[in-house]
Structure 1
Amino acid sequence: MHRSGDGYRLTADGVERAVPFTALAAEAGRLEASGARWVWDTAEVYPALLAAGVRVARAWDLRLGRALLRRAAGAPGGIGALPADGWDDASTADEGALPIDLGGDLDPVAEFARQTAEVAGSTRPGALRLLITAESAGALAAVEMRYGGLPWRRDVHERILADLLGPRVPADRRPATLERLADAVRSALAAPTLNPDSPGELARALRLAGIEVDSTRAAELRRVDHPAVEPLLEYKKLARLHQANGWTWLDTWVADGRFRPDYIVGGVVTGRWAARGGGAQQLPKQIRGAVVADPGWTLVVADAAQLEPRVLAGLAHDRAMAEAGRGRDLYAGIVASGAVATRASAKVGMLAALYGATSGESGRLVPRLAQRFPRALALVEQAARQGERGGAVSTLLGRSTPPVSARHRAVDRDAAVLDADERVLRQARSMARDRGRFTRNFVVQGTAAEWALCWLADLRHRLWELGEGPFAARPHLVYFLHDEVIVHAPAELADRVAEAVEAAAGAAGRLLFADFPIDFPLDVSVVDRYSDAG
């Protein structure tokens, strides 16, 4: 199904016909009731159906399928060799491009045939088919979350801003609290004309005051003992709030009591989601009090505990690591195993293993983890070595890394020349290490994103079955971020929704890792406002 002229072209049972906009809801509702799986570009078509009262259970998103199959290392390569056309998704977070207009010359039936043939010819067709199915379900959920919207109280948000920043002022002026803190920084640094928003001016003022720092970032400043640091850190925190979620953001993104993020499914190369504006990928704690359930409704907030290390244990079939997280905090379990002495060390060491830290305390902890959990640590090391050699790695379901850049290949060629310049050799080694750190984490973060997609897919079906009537009257997803979801639900269904959230997490774990004994516990809160979630 795709847009064409004054309506849509719809193919069912091998017959293509035109469906005008006015008849779309009735025809789609009839087909949906028959158990159809929709083959389309979800972001293009589904919003109109949802607005017309038709909720879709299953789909195959051709644009997302094309993007996955272009790079899938296990695919035969037919789609990867095609020239770019309108099915190729250029709207990734990295490129910041706008969606491509499909136009009327693209044939969804032919594209579906290409994609299913590519999947069938791959080395692991079941895994790739599941990946596209899960990604497509994520696309449905993304449209539904935008349609439903995250409940947002403008009056509460304005009160938070007034308490923290002072009364609203014109966009070209600093609020009172920021101006007061800026004056305190100027006084402490003896720099009466300092603009604290300018990194260059701030760095010069710090040097003139005898403060040597490598940057003006908060983490660097916290190591400095000087009267200017405290007001400067507070200024930076509140200035970020003013810029990212202040009055301008509120005017732009909140309407009719809802914040409606524009999600980009698979917008990050690992499969994580991104968003077009609005800061949906980071809602700071300062403003979460403005996320308030409607009267008679509640918020069920859930996030997965230590998702990436648990996914690593499942990927590597490391039973020792799985046992460390059985029914408890994984980091506490690592301590109990004798690998490290404290929970903080367990967390730091695991992050070092996942992200490739080799120096300092974090680097010293990794060998100790490797002794206790050799299969898990060997998996990320192998992925890192593969990346350093310029090779591709893939997630559990087959999402693969992009090829190395042309610049990377050029440097490698120069470094391979006999008597290559030492500068070129250093550059090649540096680029190889960077690529290795990327591939090391890619397999874990990407598989964690697949678990989250399966969680979302299963949960949206369970939520639909809990309620009655139209979409907005039933429990529904309103927010998603990597390993966290928020469900807006009628208050009388809160306990059943919480059970559904946990059941869906368990189902996602079994779908990906079968009977391997790895837990995916959740922290679940039933609250009236997001800020009260544990």
Structure 2
Amino acid sequence: MPYVLLTDDPDRAGGVLLRHASDDGEPALDAERVAARDLPAAVARYETDRPRWVWDDTARRYPPLLRAGVRVERCHDLRLCHAILRGSAYASGSDLARAPRGPWDGRRPEEPPPAEPDLLDELTLLDDPGAPATAPVDADDVPLDVADELARQLAAVARSTHPGRLRLLLAAESTGALIAQEMRHDGMPWDTAVHDALLTDLLGPRPRGGRPARLEGLVEQIREHLVQPTLNPDSQPDLLRGLRLAGFAVQSTSKWEIRALDHPVREPLLEYKSLSRLLSANGWAWMDTWIHDGRFRPEYVPGGVVSGRWATNGGGALQLPAAIRAAVRADDGWRLVVADASQLEPRVLAAMSGDAAMAAAGRQADLYQGVVDAGIVATRSDAKYAMLGAIYGATTGASAALMPQLTRAYPHAVALVEAAARAGERGEVVTTWLGRSSPAPDAAWQAELTAASAEGAAAEDVRAVRRRARDWGRFTRNFVVQGTAAEWALCWMASLRRRLREVDGRPHLVFFLHDEVMVHSPAAVADEVAEAVRAAAVEAGRLLFGATPVDFALTVSVVESYDRAK
């Protein structure tokens, strides 16, 4: 049987029902009643037939099994899959998509309003790990019919415009949910002694109260340079007021504005902001909270951002600064296999658009250098600014100036993101390669757009509405590429997870960051794991795009500590 449904037993508190189901989700009449304490043994018994487990929430169902030493190969996470099918343009005609919101609908993630990307910040726009995640309705409060929901989802896929793509996306998303719980259970190896030494070297000894010595020294320098003996640099209003009193016409306290200052306060203030950020995000208090028994166990949230990227509900796993990466250390006799997908989003764009010229540029490890070698732009820096500017929709600066060259060289790739941007400006939905669709602007946004198009609309109102439309267009332009890159990464991890199960010594995934994975591996099989990582990347490209000429290049390192990875 392809499916085994796992649901709560209505007649037995803490118990569950296990039922087989057919390909179309039709459950068998018989059901096995299992007490909570006996569930791991029952799941292990069923697992010998390699079923696909169907349950409401992997985050709810899988951790107790992991604690009991039971792992499953496959699942279908009904909540995550429901969210995809509910919003997918591929399945918009299904009963599931047209039905009123119900208990399977969690709180919808909200994407922050798109803004102009800052290429100096490596274009990390729309990559907020703190973005709110979909919060499921408590299954204990609302009765859920797992069999009925599975049947609705299978019907929605079968009648969709791209059933093959949706099936792959739902399988990848559900496997991602398993991986997230497995990574939390296994944890990332972490040496607190090394972490403490790093903090002490940068900040001074751990204080009993107040700021560390290095930060106190920088505060004194800042106050002296600004001639303000009581200024508190931790207070954004206080610091902004202090800078203006000193004669600087700044609009914010961002590091970009501070870097532009021609004044002795610039360097100590930039250093203070950097070190205070380290202290608050990954300092001693963070270490006490998140590192236990030599492991860092954050709570990953698959699909926590509308583009499909992951978020976290704590721990900041998606932001581990270089300053503390030496604390991520393999156990004795083990290694860290760290792999980074080089320039993933441009390669995904080349594959989606079928742009042969861009694919050719990516046939070497450095796609940006490939753009230079093709004579499109003069320097690698220009190539990076132009390529990421196209993906993120930069309208000013160096990236905008380089767009004409990029458009002439890669017309199909640029046309794809331009079409997505124009759709967003009209308030339309865009969709990733496998079928995750963007949210539509709300009714008020649409009404404003219509009003601005009417005869006699005030010029100022028209300009404001058009500006908001362009902002949304930058969001949809990036959504199709970033969302498809997230799909590639899910398939990469799913393939790697399957391959790792066949390697001796139980190497296991311990970290994932959008286009980077880390495997904790016995040293004896680390090279074999590295090859599995590479093979999984090839398979992910083939699963999404078929026989694509695009190479999904990786940088793979086998190291004892994270800071030594290339």
Q: TM-score range, shorter-chain basis?
A: over 0.9
Structure 1 partner of 2:401: 364
Whether the aligned pair in 2 keeps the contact of 1:324 and 1:337 (CA below 8 Å) is yes
Q: Work out the CA distance in 2 between the residues paired with 1:301 and 1:3.
A: 40
Give the alignment partner of residue 409 of structure 1, picking from 430, 436, 446: 446
Q: What is the Cα deviation at residue 452 of structure 1?
A: 0.1
Counterpart code for 1:502: R
In structure 2, the residue matched to 1:302 is 339
SS state at 1:267 partner: coil
Distance (Å, rounded) in 2 between the aligned partners of 1:91 and 1:464 = 34
Aligned residue type for 1:477: L
Aligned to 2:549: 517
User: Tell me, what secondary structure is at the counterpart of 2:331?
Assistant: coil
Pairs aligned (count): 528
- Offset at 1:466? 0.5
**Alpha-carbon distance in 1 for matches of 2:134, 2:548:** 41
Displacement, 1:413?
3.3
Q: Matched residue of 2:530: which SS? A: helix
Report the more deviating stretch, 278-287 or 160-169. 160-169
Query: Aligned AA for 1:44?
Result: R
What SS is found at the alignment partner of 2:502? helix
Aligned runs of 1:414-453 on 2, under 5 Å? Answer: 414-453=451-490
**Aligned pair partner of 2:250 in 213, 223, 228:** 213
The corresponding residue for 2:117 is: none
Give the letter for the 1:312 counterpart.
Answer: L
Tell me what 1:470 maps to: none
Contact 2:106 2:134 in 1 (8 A): no
Indicate the residue corresponding to 2:174 in structure 1.
136
**Aligned position for 2:124:** none
Contact 2:131 2:311 in 1 (8 A): no
Q: Is the 8 A contact 1:87 1:102 kept in 2?
A: no
Distance 1:99 1:230 in 2: 46
Mean CA deviation greater in 75-84 or 323-332: 75-84
Aligned match for 2:523, one of 480, 487, 491: 491
Residue of structure 2 equivalent to 1:62 = 78
Matched, 1:12 2:20: yes
1:465 alignment partner, SS class: coil
Q: CA contact under 8 A between 1:414 and 1:424: conserved in structure 2?
A: no
AA paired with 2:543? L
- Are the equivalent residues in 2 in contact too, given 1:397–1:450 (CA < 8 A)? yes
Deviation at 1:97, TM superposition (A): 6.5
Contact 1:165-1:178 within 8 A present in 2 as well: yes
Q: What SS does the aligned partner of 1:364 have? A: helix
TM-score normalised according to structure 1 size: 0.96
Q: Does 1:36 align with 2:51?
A: yes
The one-character-per-residue Cα deviations of 1:157-177 (angstroms, maximum 9, x if unpaired) are 111111111122245x11111
Q: Is the 8 A contact 1:411 1:427 kept in 2?
A: no
Residue matched to 1:25: 40
8 Å CA contact retained: 1:300, 1:527: yes
The range that moved more, 34-43 or 113-122, is 34-43
Q: Which amino acid aligns with 2:475?
A: F
Counterpart AA for 1:28: V
Distance in 1 of aligned mates of 2:444 and 2:94: 23
- Give the drift of 1:212: 2.6
In structure 2, runs of 5+ residues without a counterpart are: 1-5, 22-27, 110-129
Q: Which moved more, 1:329-338 or 1:17-26?
A: 17-26
Separation in structure 1 between the aligned mates of residue 297 and residue 183 of structure 2, nearest angstrom: 7
The correspondence of residues 26-105 of structure 1 with structure 2, limited to 5 A, is 26-40=41-55, 41-75=57-91, 76-90=93-107, 92=109, 94-95=131-132, 98-103=135-140, 105=143
Deviation, structure 1 residue 496: 0.2
Listed as ranges, the matches of 1:69-218 within 5 Å are 69-75=85-91, 76-90=93-107, 92=109, 94-95=131-132, 98-103=135-140, 105-170=143-208, 173-218=210-255
> 2:267 maps to which residue?
230
Question: Which residue in 1 is equivalent to 2:112?
Answer: none
Structure 2: distance between partners of 1:96 and 1:474: 31
The CA deviation at 1:51 is 1.4
Match of 2:558 among 498, 511, 526: 526
| Paired residues of 1:61 and 1:136 also in contact (CA < 8 A) | yes
3-state DSSP of counterpart to 1:283: coil
1:481 corresponds in structure 2 to 513
CA distances 1:218-237 after superposition (whole Å, capped 9, x unpaired): 12211222111111111000
1:251-262 matches, within 5 Å, as: 251-262=288-299
Provide Cα deviations, 1:138-160, integer angstroms capped at 9, x if missing partner: 01100100010001111111111
**Identity level (%):** 56
What is the CA deviation profile of residues 199-223 of structure 1, one whole-angstrom value per residue up to 9, with x for unaligned ones? 2221222222222323211122112
Q: Which deviations, in whole Å up to 9, do the C-alpha atoms of 1:445-486 show, x marking residues without a partner?
A: 00000000000000001011102xxxxx50000000000000
Q: Secondary structure at the match of 1:79?
A: helix
SS, match of residue 74 in structure 1: helix
Q: How much has 1:91 moved relative to structure 2?
A: 7.7
One-letter amino acid of the structure 1 residue matched with residue 357 of structure 2: A
Q: CA deviation at 1:96?
A: 5.2
What amino acid is the match of 1:78?
D
CA deviations over 1:471-508 (Å, ceiling 9, x no partner): xx500000000000000011101000000000000110
Query: Larger deviation: 216-225 or 419-428?
Result: 419-428
* 1:245 is aligned to 2:253: no
CA distance in 2, matches of 1:437, 1:268: 16
Letter in 1 for 2:539: A
Question: Secondary structure of 1:302's partner?
Answer: strand
Alpha-carbon displacement from aligned partner over 1:86-144 (angstroms, at most 9, x marks no partner): 32233856445644211262111110000000000100111011100010110110010
Q: In the alignment, what sits opposite 1:344?
A: 381
Q: Equivalents in 1 of 2:554, 2:132: separation in Å?
A: 33
Q: Structure 2 CA distance, aligned partners of 1:310 and 1:11?
A: 43
Q: Does 1:500 align with 2:538?
A: no
Question: Pairwise CA RMSD of aligned residues?
Answer: 1.4
Indicate conservation of the 8 Å contact 1:38/1:58, yes or no. Answer: yes
**2: CA distance between counterparts of 1:463 and 1:450?**
20
- C-alpha separation in 1, matches of 2:108 and 2:192: 30
Residue equivalent to 2:424: 387
Instruction: Find the counterpart in structure 1 of residue 304 from structure 2.
Output: 267
Change in Cα spacing, 1:179 to 1:97, as seen in structure 2 (3 Å) is farther
The match for 1:455 is 492
* Distance in 2 of aligned mates of 1:91 and 1:163: 43
Equivalent residues of 1:3, 1:45 under 8 A apart: no
Would you say the 8 A contact 2:133–2:305 is kept in 1?
no
Counterparts of 1:414 and 1:95 in 2: how far apart (Å)?
Answer: 31
| Runs of 5+ unmatched residues, structure 1 | 468-472
1:152/1:292 contact within 8 Å kept: yes
What's the counterpart of residue 2 of structure 1?
7
Q: Secondary structure of 2:31's match?
A: strand
